[in-house]
Structures are given as C-alpha cells and as structure tokens.
A and B are shown apart, each in its own frame.
Chain A
Amino acid sequence: MMMQFIYALPMAIVVLGAILLMLLSNSKITLNRLNLISVAILTLSLILQFVLFGEKESTYLFSSIFGNTFILDDFSAIFDVMFTLGAILTLLINNDYFKSREYFAGEYFSLILFSVFGMMILAHAHELVTTFIGLEIASLSIYALVAYHKTRTISTEAMMKYIVLGSMTGAFYMLGTALIYGAVGSTSFTEIAAYIHSHDLSNITVLIVGASFIMITIMFKIGAVPLHAWVLDVYHGAPYPITMFMASTFKIGIFAVALRLYLVMFAPINSFWSEILQVITILTLLGGSWLAINQTLVKRMLASSSIVHTGYLLIAISSIGLGSDLAAPAVMFYLIAYFLSSVGSFGILSFIASKKKKQMTYDDFKGFAQRRPYMAIMMSIFMLSLAGFPSTIGFLGKFYIFTAAIESGQILLAGLGIATAFISVYYYFKLIAMMYFYESDETQKKFPVGISTVLIVIISLIVIWGGIGTSLIPFVPGADGFMNFASQAISSLK
C-alpha cells in the first residue's frame, strides 16, 4: 500500500501543484515567480519519475480502490517523462513571450499543469471511461488555453472551432464506449481483449462499430486528413506557447492512447482497419502537403506540416497491424524526433514574436541570417530535421518508420512517404532560402542570452546529436539505445 502511494506521487504532485497554482493565481506573485514555481513542481515530478523508473513490474495502481483502471508500466513511464519534459520546455522557452503580452495571468500555469495531468491519465488509463476522463481533462484545459487572449476575436474563434468539433467527437467516443460496453459488459481493456480473442470476427459487429467510433475520435484529435479542418485555424489562433504545447506534447498524449488501444485491446481486429487506415494515411500525407505548400504564414505552414508528420506516424501505426515489430518503437522514436524539432522551431517563432507583435510570414524572414545569424542557423537545423535531412534526428525517425513500413510489406505507403518527404523539402527549404538568400538593411543584432535562447541552442544540439551522435560519442546511448528502450516498453504492455 505504501509503495503504491509512492508510485502515485509523480501524478499527485502535478495535480496538487495545479491546484496550488490555481489558488496562487490571484495573488500578487509575479508571473516570473509563478513560472518558476510551476517548473519546480514539474521538475520534482520528473525527478521522481526517474527515480521510480524501472523499479516496478507492471502493476495496477490501488487496484482495491480504482479497480483495474490505472496501470503503471514502462510504457506509461516513458510517456510521462515526455509530457513533463514537454511542459517544462514549453514554460521555459516562452519565458520571454508571456512577459511581452499583458493578457497572460496566473491561470495559464495552472491550466498547463492540469492538461499535463490529463495526459498522464491518458497514458496510464487501462479502461475506456478513464481514457475519456483523461482526454477531457487535457482537452478542456487546452480549449481554455487556446482562447487565452480574451480580447482578440480570432483567438476565441479558434477555440469555438476546436470545442464544437472536439465535443462532437467526444460524444462519438462515448457512443463507441457504450456500444462496446453493451457487447462485452465491461469497459476494461483486459476484458475487452479477452472477449475479442474468444469470439469470431463475424460475431462481434457491435464491438467493431464501437471501436471504429473510438478510432474516429483519435483520428480527429491527431488531425488526420478527413478530420483535419480544425488544425490550421486552431494552431493559427492560439498564442505561440499553446500552439507549441498542442503540436508537440498533446499530440504525443493522443498517440500514447492510440498505441495502447492498438497494441493491447484491438490487436486481434487490426486487420479490419488496415485498409481504412491505409486510405487515411494516403489522404493525410497528400492533403497535408497540399495545405503546407499553399501557406504564407510560417505558423500555418508548421501547422499543416504537423498534419504531414501525423501521416508519417500513421504509416507506422498501420504497419503495427501487419506484424512489424519495429513499428511501435518507431512511432515512439518519431514522436520524440518531431517533438524536439517542433518545440525548437515554435520556440524561435515565439522568441521573434515576443519582439514583434504580428504573425510572421515567409517574407518577414528575408535577411534574417544577417540580422540574427545564430538564430538562423538553429532555425535551419530544425527545418532540416523536420524535412528529414540526414545527420539530424528527423532523418532517423523517418528511417525507422519507412523500414517498418517495408518490413510489413506496405511498399506503396513507404514510397508515398518518401515522395512527401521530398515535397516537404520545398516548404521547409523555402524558409531557409528566405533567411540566407536575401540582403537585410538592418545591422546584426547581438545574440540575446536568456533562458529561452539557451534552451533552444541545447535542443538544436540534441537534434544534431540524435542524428549522428550514436557513432560519434562512444558509451553514450544514442538513437539505438532509445529504440531498445522503446521496444522494451512496448513488450511490457499487457
């Protein structure tokens, strides 16, 4: 019982910290201090996660109280670390941004912590309703954060588009849960998996319909193409910190639950979806590229390119059902690679936006390399990594995903993925060309040393190190080390 209490601590610290910050949000403490407090809370939770990592076998948390709804295993531990790190980076990198905007108040930190807590529930949930509650806690906090600039109409409009569609898919999710409950008589993953194993595919139509509703919700939340209409507008209307948080951390959260559903619960009926998923993947890759080519705002370009990255991840997800062992670790590796590059690129955008108060277009980047040479180098590194250029972490991510696709015999998807990677060179390198091939009349500015810029430098170094470090630095675990780690975590799933 005592050990269980300790295992629950990382999550409990985050939610208690969120409540504490909510109480503090109206006090006279400055935003800077509140930021430090929330980072301290998250760091404490992160340290505890590292201490507890690998200590435990897969167990259910307080199984006498919660039933078997919460599971603690290596898989969820890895995702917990990603969520906490994502929130810490979001808070620290945007240190300059929220000081430059007067609308930020104390609740911002509390909402971020609450959504991290929701994502943690999402990664730990071993039952459909718990998943829904986690999804709602995370989403409701993000709905509120999207509209954080209260007086700006487009911010609230972005929230309107998100919340109407998000709640609708939430209703679909619950309908799917109700149908599965009607068929199985339980919503626990273990019992559903046992039910599917013991029945023939033709006798469980109700369950398959319900599971498809749940898949629709997940496809919506990750922004796969027939359900992508909200992505561009919401990412555009939200403040930069929130866009960064949604594009990196929240997306990882949804993929955590998608992987668990795919690998544990619906594993026997994956063959039913494989064709649907292939079509969705093709649409996502092509539609996302089409959208990304046409954008002029850099923020919208990054938003539509995040749809393309969802497409790459879906290639790996559809390979899982076709029996590729590499696919599931490849998803986790790609999530990390995309997380680093997108946090970096959004971080630079948010840094620029803290000086200028308008959305950046491609044209605004003309001559950027002359004004801020170091920033330009780092932006180029992130763009190269997003495009999947060799020697960056993004290349390795794509390499594993395409290997998994070829391993499972999906040559068409792998070929299409490589083709879209070539298309993506156009819109990523356009930014690099804008920065380097135009003269600027302004003089070079000094590199501002601050917490956000230093962190961006560190992230860009990690991006490079993840790409070539494995062979350069001996005795330090690189990309291969993480892949072993991820496969271990996947095999711990039950």
Chain B
Amino acid sequence: MSPNAFYLLASLLFSIGLVGLVSRKNLFVLYMSIELMLSAVSLLLATLSKVLGEAGGSVISLLIIGVIASEAAVFLAMIINLYRSKKTLDSDRFNALREGARND
C-alpha cells in the first residue's frame, strides 16, 4: 500500500489540531487539539518507520505516547483547578494577568 495516503492523513490531522488550537476557546478542546497534533506526528513516524524498514520510528512513536500521557496528567489537573476558581472552561475568561494584577 502506498504511504502517500498515510502522509496525507497525518498532515490533515496535524492541520485540524493546529486550527482547533487557534480557533477554539474551550480548554478541553485545546487539550484535544494538542494531543491530535502529537498523535498525527506519531502516525507519521510509524509510517516512516515502515517505509524505511527500520524499527526506530515506531519506538519513537511509542515514546510520544508516553509523553502525551504525562502531559495529560498535568493538563487535566490544571483544567480542574481552573474550573474550581471560575466555574468555566472558556479560556477567554481567564484574563486577569495584566499590569494591574498586584495581589501576590
């Protein structure tokens, strides 16, 4: 099977992730977009590994899954904390950081 279809799929997924990151405001969607981008890279690496006939790429994509998991832990903890403070997940509502924010 030609790898071109996989390259196309990987670039589509990456672009969807990037557009989602730029245009959406819900923190969960932002999080999913980032994971989509990393998963697209993972797919690309697995495809390249098959094309080159070398196992290295597949190992790297496994490592990426590990990184995604650890990032998920930190990100979800942050989402919970943000939701507790303002009862919303709209990232535009968190705009307190500016010159005037002087409480410590």
Contacts and interface: CB of A to CB of B under 8 A. Distances in A.
Interface of A: 129, 132-133, 136, 140, 143-144, 147, 150-154, 156-161, 163-164, 167-168, 170-171, 174-175, 177-178, 181-182, 185-187, 233, 236-237, 295-297, 300, 353, 357-359, 361
A-B complex: 5 closest residue pairs judged by Cβ atoms: A171-B37, A157-B94, A174-B41, A233-B97, A182-B48
B38 A174 contact: yes
Given A181-B56, A353-B104, A175 B41 contact: yes
Contacts of A133: 63, 67
A296 B98 CA distance: 11
Given A132-B67, A140-B71, A153-B94, 11 more contacts: A133-B63, A156-B78, A164-B91, A167-B38, A168-B21, A168-B34, A174-B41, A174-B64, A178-B48, A185-B52, A187-B60
Interface of B: 14, 17-18, 21, 27, 30, 34, 37-38, 41, 44-45, 48, 51-52, 54, 56-57, 60, 63-64, 67, 70-71, 74-75, 77-78, 81-82, 85-86, 91, 94-97, 99, 101-104
B91 A160 contact: yes
Given A156-B82, A164-B34, A178 B41 contact: yes
A160 B82 contact: yes
A300 B81 contact: no
Nearest to B101: A154
Contacts of B77: 144
Contacts of A151: 85
Contact of A160 (B21, B54, B94, B101): B94
16 contacts: A136-B67, A140-B74, A153-B82, A156-B81, A163-B75, A168-B21, A168-B37, A170-B67, A170-B71, A171-B14, A171-B37, A175-B41, A177-B60, A182-B44, A182-B48, A358-B102
Contacts of B67: 132-133, 136, 170
Contacts of A357: 103-104
A110 B71 CA distance: 18
B99 A295 contact: yes
A158 B97 contact: yes
Nearest to B34: A167
Nearest to B54: A185
Grouping DSSP codes into helix (H, G, I), strand (E, B) and loop, the A interface class, with mixed when no group exceeds half, is helix
B54 to A, nearest CB: 6
Contacts of B17: 171
Contacts of B99: 295-297, 300
Contacts of A156: 78, 81-82, 85, 94
Nearest to A184: B52
A43 B94 CA distance: 40
Interface centre among B38, B78, B86, B102 (most CB of A within 10 A): B78
A281 B39 CA distance: 33
Contact of A157 (B30, B34, B97): B97
A181 B63 contact: no
A235 to B, nearest CB: 10
A152 B78 CA distance: 12
B97 A358 contact: no
Nearest to B77: A144
A150 B97 CA distance: 15
Contacts of A236: 97, 101
A153 B74 contact: no
Contact of A143 (B18, B74, B97): B74
B37 A154 contact: no
A358 B103 contact: yes
A389 to B, nearest CB: 28
Interface centre among A132, A178, A186, A359 (most CB of B within 10 A): A178
Contacts of B78: 143, 147, 156, 159-160, 163
Given A133-B67, A174-B41, A359 B101 contact: yes
Nearest to B103: A358
